[in-house]
Chain A
Amino acid sequence: MIRTVDELEKNFQELSKMARGYRMRILVCGGTGCIANGSLEIYKKFKEVLRQKGLYTDLELIQEGREGTGVAASGCHGFCEMGPLVRIEPNGFLYVKVKAEDVEDIVESTVIKNEPVMRLLFCDPAEKKHFLREEEIPFYRRQTRLVLKNCGKIDPEDIRDYIACGGYRALAKVLTEMTPEQVCDEILKSKLRGRGGAGFPTGKKWQQVFSQDSDVKYVVCNGDEGDPGAFMDRSVMEGDPHRILEGMMIAGYATGAREGYIYVRAEYPLAVKRLQTAINQAREWGLLGKNILSSNFDFDIHINRGAGAFVCGEGSALTQSIEGFRGMPRPRPPRTVEKGLFGKPTVLNNVETFANVPSIILNGAEWFSSIGTPESPGTKIFALTGNINNTGLIEVPMGITLRQILFEVGGGIKSGKKFKAVQIGGPSGGCLTEEHLDLSMDFDSLEKAGAMIGSGGLVVMDEDACMVEVARFFMDFTQRESCGKCVPCREGTKRMLEILEKIVSGNGTVEDLELLNELAEVVKTGSLCGLGKTAPNPVLTTMKYFKEEYMAHVIDKRCPSKVCRGLARPVINREKCRGCGKCKRICPASAIEGEAKKPHEIDQNRCLRCLACIDACPFDAIREE
């Protein structure tokens, strides 16, 4: 139980000393990706092997002045492509693709002899060399990890680890040294902008809630990360839950709220579990509840699990959902800062936004605004997925170029293929192409380019991707996830999808493209909430940058990337064809004709594009065109 600021400071000193008290500490990544690859067995194996060898020590024993080797399951390290990951402290070795069988070796060489296990070190395919320490790996080198600072380095299920890293000292600072107005000012000065996508100045939002005259106010954390391919918030919730709690508590103090809600998708069971553990521990330690740190500040946090509707990431739908109603956005005004949760003034920020707060308070607004660009300071976490070598979670300063992200952090396109586009911001975002490679990644530059940072999903596509199909994929997602309330979004996205389906199946016309464009404008301008307003972005940007691909689909009836099955045309090479008739016999549409021993021909009008003939041909004479 920590009752005062002094006690917190004492605990910080002791715990950080204790953390240093380990001779060695093994951190097995306990992020969802690594767990899926078996990291929990590795964690158990380490404990077992260390116990057998009498090397295992837990924190309690260190308290008594003993040293030894500790094992902890940490949050996500971000380098999911290479998981399961194991990090050794204090020497900073990072082992990749570790298996349970490797545990004995690691203990033998590293724990006992302090030597690295070479075969488990990361080997960069480009630089053809092994990297001993995490920090040296190119994937990490370009990163600035502020929000993810602790992720992968602490045990997220142990509050002591967080306190040992200086946790809750920012809270102590605001409670003892700052007035709520000062906190709002500090955040405003830092120019922190909402990391949920829109980039609204956080300090301004807090000031607005602060100035509302209401005895009850709420702080709500949006952890309803629903974009396909995005897992930034999940990793923070799983890897450093207390940082979010601390951010929310500071927001509560700054705005006059006494209660907070975290809205997490039920599909993130690990995040829910770790947040709940964190809340319970914070309550036990007196850091949540009544009279926190003897400051007369009361604050408590509840978790609300969302049922997985994408639209519940929209502010007003989210609050509706917490209140127990169907998650449907409502028109604004009134805004959430005026009438949010239960009709009360509400601070609604995203996980990453709250996670930024403690460092800003501790290090000051100036420090924060020195990172990134002047108008979009700080860092941004991106989930890097798709056809890229280093998939995973990265945190980079705002203003970094797309080229740096893709080719330095991401290690370039998979299999040496050519970069084609990147979809940024998930289904609400747009695609960026080669011409944007040197674009500064910040809120304003991206908006100008017709895209948005969104929550931070980056789906990389190589030359083999069909952009029409990509647009269809995202449209399929948004039209399914539309809540069905407003007409443009409900009916418009459905019809846009219909047109896109028509195009990829080879039945599209030039008029369809015009209609698609018209619909996109109507949905964008007319929709009630952000989901609908941004839903046409993938279509609009792909149509803008890849117009020729659309035209090829509708005029030439051809998919340049050969992705769209409906447009694939089998063509017989007359020189290779021996007229064996195998293709003719297998064709379900009787579309192949030709006399025996003479080159056959395919009637494209009858062809069903099943491509069975290609496999049937023993002479490799049929090719898809």
Chain B
Amino acid sequence: MEKTIKINGREISFTNERNLLEVIRKAGIELPTFCYHSELSVYGACRMCLVEDERGRIMAACSTPPRPGMSIKTHTERLVRQRRVTLELLLANHDRECTSCVKSGSCRLQELARILGIKNIRFGQKKGRLPIDDSSPAIVRDPNKCILCGDCVRMCEEIQGIGVIGFAYRGSEARVTPPFNKNISEVNCVDCGQCAAVCPTGAITVASHMEKVWNALYDPAKTVVAQIAPAVRVSLGEEFGLKPGAVTSGKIIGALKKMGFDMVFDTCFAADLTAVEESHEFLERLSGKKRLPQFTSCCPAWVKYVELNYPDFKDNLSSCRSPQQMFGSVMKGIYAKKLGIDPEEIFVVSIMPCTAKKAEAQREEFSKGGIPDVDAVLTTQEMARMVREAGIIFDEVEEMPFDMPMGFATGGGLIFGGGEGVATAVIRTLGREPVFRTHGEGGQIKTAEIEYDGKIIKTAAVSGLNNAKKLLEAIRAGKEYYDLVEVMACSGGCVGGGGQPQPNTSDARESRKKGLLGSEKLMQLKSPAENPIIKDLYRDHLYSPGSEKAHEMLHTTYRNRKRIDGEICFSEDIKKAGKVSVKVCVGTCCYLSGAYELFSALKEIANEEKFKDRIELSATFCLENCAKSPCVMVDDTIIGKATVEKVIDEVIKRF
């Protein structure tokens, strides 16, 4: 039987809608909300979506399931007044410097104030300002603009499984903050930017590189080179009124050229290169040389997540740099010479759907002699803003092709931008075409099996770090086995990145991915292995996949970044040739027994000439030998009630 409810007197049928809000929106009525996101849990805090039933009871539509026979109204006088005052209260407490806010024009608060016709705020401006946290390379937090809708908190916790921000304090002092009011850079934030993607106001925004890029463009001595990530071409149009998925590569290149970029290349080319290197590495691992499964390493948020939370899996990460970094390395290390330009005079700008790429570009592994391989990273949103700032009418921009040689890519490189793309391209390079199917409960993991060299290779692809966490735990527990695992930190892969245009809904992500797959169909070459430019690159410079030169230019290493508290990092891979590892326990017991002083004393000794480069000193967490604290571990031997003398004696024995 058909189930119906009455909305404003009209019968509306419903099926499996979870709440009244969904039914109301289905009926073509727009109810304002701040804290409702179909992908996140229902929070019910903004109190904007209130509705009234026939008995005059008021309830939040987002948290009320529809019941057949209900009769509700959405815009009674009482409700409208309720919403207006609620909004007025929010505005009163909000930083009202709208004109100079990055979010101006796309701010939900601003939009609703306009829609609800707020003309006057009868309450005084909030007193006192909280400091802005710009410690992160990816995001900037301005608590003065926060309306406490909790979207970022739930995104970080529920979808990404990280939970580095939460609520603190009570009443009107309540705020969203990392634990103990630390800066976001001091906690396990992976820079994915999904918090910024859901923030309705300017409270969390993306750290901007726009000024850096303008300065480079204005500098006549610089050769400014752009690379465009696959996911950008199917989403940038949204900023200019096009539907998600509309492919605008030609216009983007045209616009960049108008802005003064000297060369515009395609990150898909570098993605082809990544696929070739990564598939080579995969074959090495399959032959038993290194650990399986191999995890993809294109997503910097995922890489940082592993380094921070699962250091025991860091050797499973492919040592391949991401396409962005391969591009930077090849650009400055090989093509600069070809073009006869000093690498220092080349300014590489990546246009990415991603905020974590900003952090990745700043990793020390990716610069040579103080010159980063990638100088600036613009998100899709920043790119659109720059187009507007430059006075370019996007609609009228004449389309242009990518510059050669690094503008040529295969279909494999292009699909890096959507979920399962990397794994597909890697397998494709091996001459097989995987077919991914959803697997397990909720369909969060996609898997494919292919036959290769008489063996069955199992691959999995997952997006959203919380899903990745579940998969990692299953792998660690031996419940699941895979040979190749692709992980993308953001739901849906790069098309759903933290720097993409808003709203970044699942529908938008789907359409963007469709756009990518659609244009892949038009490409003559599908397998990265067939890319002729890459073949030339190996022939002329890199010799072969996995060669020493390729390793130097295209691969990287990872660190254990698991923290004890902010500053101290401990590392498990200390045992290097010729060095004695000395680990000082700084667990609570040892700390209280003077481990820190011991550590400082040992540090001085380790720096002395005769021990220099022979002692690898580090602090470690509890060695579980508290009764004999302080404890020090010299290689595999634990020294209880350690003193400097005891430790040094033990070290000398090993020389």
Q: Which residues of B lie under 8 Å from residue A330 when comparing CB positions?
A: 43-44
Q: Which residues of B lie under 8 Å from residue A331 when comparing CB positions?
A: 42-44, 60, 62-63
Q: Write 30 A-B pairs (CB below 8 A) sorted by A numbering.
A: A331-B44, A331-B63, A332-B63, A333-B65, A480-B170, A481-B171, A482-B170, A484-B170, A484-B174, A485-B167, A486-B46, A487-B147, A488-B86, A491-B89, A491-B93, A492-B85, A493-B172, A494-B93, A494-B172, A495-B89, A498-B123, A518-B81, A518-B85, A522-B85, A522-B89, A525-B50, A526-B47, A526-B86, A528-B44, A528-B45
Q: Cβ of B82 and Cβ of A486 under 8 Å apart?
A: no
Tell me, yes or no, whether B396 is within 8 Å of chain A by CB: no
CB distance from A394 to the nearest CB of B (A): 32
CB distance from B40 to the nearest CB of A (A): 13
Encode B172-212 as 1/0 by CB contact (under 8 A) with A: 11100000000000000000000000000000000000000
Encode A158-193 as 1/0 by CB contact (under 8 A) with B: 000000000000000000000000000000000000
Tell me, yes or no, whether A326 is within 8 Å of chain B by CB: yes
Q: Which residues of B lie under 8 Å from residue A485 when comparing CB positions?
A: 45, 148, 150, 167, 174
Tell me, yes or no, whether A519 is within 8 Å of chain B by CB: yes
Q: Cβ of A484 and Cβ of B89 under 8 Å apart?
A: no
Q: Which residues of B lie under 8 Å from residue A309 when comparing CB positions?
A: 170
Q: Which residues of B lie under 8 Å from residue A480 when comparing CB positions?
A: 170-171
Docked pose: A522 CA to B148 CA in angstroms = 19
CB distance from A307 to the nearest CB of B (A): 11
Q: Which residues of B lie under 8 Å from residue A486 when comparing CB positions?
A: 44-47
Binding site secondary structure of chain A: helix
Tell me, yes or no, whether A479 is within 8 Å of chain B by CB: yes
Name B residues whose Cβ lies closer than 8 Å to a Cβ of A. 42-47, 50, 58, 60, 62-65, 78, 81-82, 85-86, 89-90, 92-93, 122-124, 147-148, 150, 166-167, 169-174
Q: Cβ of B60 and Cβ of A491 under 8 Å apart?
A: no
Q: Which residue of chain A has its CB nearest to the CB of B150?
A: A485
Taking A485-B148, A495-B92, A495-B123 as contacts, is the C-beta distance between A479 and B85 under 8 angstroms? no
Q: Which residue of chain A has its CB nearest to the CB of B47?
A: A526
Q: Which residues of B lie under 8 Å from residue A519 when comparing CB positions?
A: 85
Our pick among A332, A333, A484, A528 for the contact of B171 (Cβ within 8 Å) is A484
Encode A516-551 as 1/0 by CB contact (under 8 A) with B: 001100100111100000000000000000000000
Taking A518-B85, A526-B86 as contacts, is the C-beta distance between A491 and B45 under 8 angstroms? no
CB distance from B66 to the nearest CB of A (A): 12
Give the most central of A331, A488, A515, A528: most B CB within 10 Å.
Answer: A331
Tell me, yes or no, whether A490 is within 8 Å of chain B by CB: yes
Docked pose: A98 CA to B103 CA in angstroms = 69
Q: Cβ of B58 and Cβ of A525 under 8 Å apart?
A: yes
Q: Which residue of chain B has its CB nearest to the CB of A486?
A: B45
Q: Which residues of B lie under 8 Å from residue A528 when comparing CB positions?
A: 44-45, 47, 60
Our pick among B42, B63, B86, B167 for the contact of A522 (Cβ within 8 Å) is B86
CB-contacts of A266-325 with B (<8 A): 309, 311
Give the most central of B62, B65, B123, B171: most A CB within 10 Å.
Answer: B171
CB distance from B398 to the nearest CB of A (A): 48
CB-contacts of A456-502 with B (<8 A): 479-488, 490-495, 498
Q: Cβ of B82 and Cβ of A481 under 8 Å apart?
A: no
Our pick among B63, B64, B86, B173 for the contact of A484 (Cβ within 8 Å) is B173
Give the most central of A333, A480, A526, A528: most B CB within 10 Å.
Answer: A526
CB distance from A108 to the nearest CB of B (A): 55
Q: Cβ of B172 and Cβ of A482 under 8 Å apart?
A: yes
Tell me, yes or no, whether A328 is within 8 Å of chain B by CB: yes
Q: Cβ of B171 and Cβ of A479 under 8 Å apart?
A: yes
Give the most central of A483, A492, A525, A528: most B CB within 10 Å.
Answer: A525
Q: Which residues of A lie under 8 Å from residue B43 when comparing CB positions?
A: 330-331
Give the most central of A483, A487, A519: most B CB within 10 Å.
Answer: A487
Q: Cβ of B172 and Cβ of A487 under 8 Å apart?
A: no
CB distance from B60 to the nearest CB of A (A): 6
Docked pose: A494 CA to B89 CA in angstroms = 10
Interface residues on chain A, size class: 20 to 34
Our pick among A326, A332, A515 for the contact of B122 (Cβ within 8 Å) is A515
Q: Which residues of B lie under 8 Å from residue A494 when comparing CB positions?
A: 93, 171-172
Our pick among B47, B78, B170 for the contact of A487 (Cβ within 8 Å) is B47
Q: Cβ of A328 and Cβ of B47 under 8 Å apart?
A: no
Q: Which residues of A lie under 8 Å from residue B78 when comparing CB positions?
A: 525
Taking A480-B171, A482-B170, A515-B122 as contacts, is the C-beta distance between A491 and B92 under 8 angstroms? yes
Q: Which residues of A lie under 8 Å from residue B124 when comparing CB positions?
A: 498
CB distance from A523 to the nearest CB of B (A): 9
Taking A491-B89, A525-B58, A528-B45 as contacts, is the C-beta distance between A483 and B170 under 8 angstroms? yes
Q: Which residues of B lie under 8 Å from residue A493 when comparing CB positions?
A: 171-172
Docked pose: A519 CA to B65 CA in angstroms = 28
Q: Which residues of A lie under 8 Å from residue B90 when comparing CB positions?
A: 487, 491
Q: Cβ of B58 and Cβ of A490 under 8 Å apart?
A: no
Q: Cβ of A488 and Cβ of B171 under 8 Å apart?
A: no
Q: Which residue of chain A has its CB nearest to the CB of B83?
A: A526
Q: Which residues of A lie under 8 Å from residue B62 when comparing CB positions?
A: 331
Q: Cβ of A526 and Cβ of B58 under 8 Å apart?
A: yes
Our pick among B65, B123, B171 for the contact of A490 (Cβ within 8 Å) is B171
CB distance from B62 to the nearest CB of A (A): 8
Q: Which residues of A lie under 8 Å from residue B166 when comparing CB positions?
A: 326
Q: Which residues of B lie under 8 Å from residue A488 when comparing CB positions?
A: 47, 86, 89
Q: Which residues of A lie under 8 Å from residue B65 when comparing CB positions?
A: 333
Q: Which residues of A lie under 8 Å from residue B150 when comparing CB positions?
A: 485
Q: A326-B167, A482-B170, A487-B47 are in contact. List 16 more A-B contacts (CB 8 A).
A: A311-B170, A479-B171, A483-B171, A484-B170, A485-B150, A486-B44, A486-B45, A486-B47, A488-B47, A488-B89, A490-B148, A491-B86, A491-B93, A498-B123, A522-B86, A526-B86
Q: Which residues of B lie under 8 Å from residue A515 when comparing CB positions?
A: 122
Q: Which residues of B lie under 8 Å from residue A495 when comparing CB positions?
A: 89, 92, 123
Q: Which residues of A lie under 8 Å from residue B50 when comparing CB positions?
A: 525-526
Q: Which residue of chain A has its CB nearest to the CB of B85?
A: A522
Q: Cβ of A491 and Cβ of B172 under 8 Å apart?
A: yes
CB distance from A389 to the nearest CB of B (A): 36
Q: Which residues of A lie under 8 Å from residue B46 when comparing CB positions?
A: 486-487
CB distance from A302 to the nearest CB of B (A): 25
Q: Which residues of A lie under 8 Å from residue B64 when comparing CB positions?
A: 333
CB distance from B13 to the nearest CB of A (A): 22
CB distance from B194 to the nearest CB of A (A): 21
CB distance from B471 to the nearest CB of A (A): 23
Taking A331-B42, A331-B60 as contacts, is the C-beta distance between A479 and B86 under 8 angstroms? no
Q: Which residue of chain A has its CB nearest to the CB of B86?
A: A487
Taking A485-B45, A526-B82 as contacts, is the C-beta distance between A490 and B174 under 8 angstroms? yes
Docked pose: A148 CA to B7 CA in angstroms = 51
Q: Which residues of B lie under 8 Å from residue A332 when comparing CB positions?
A: 63
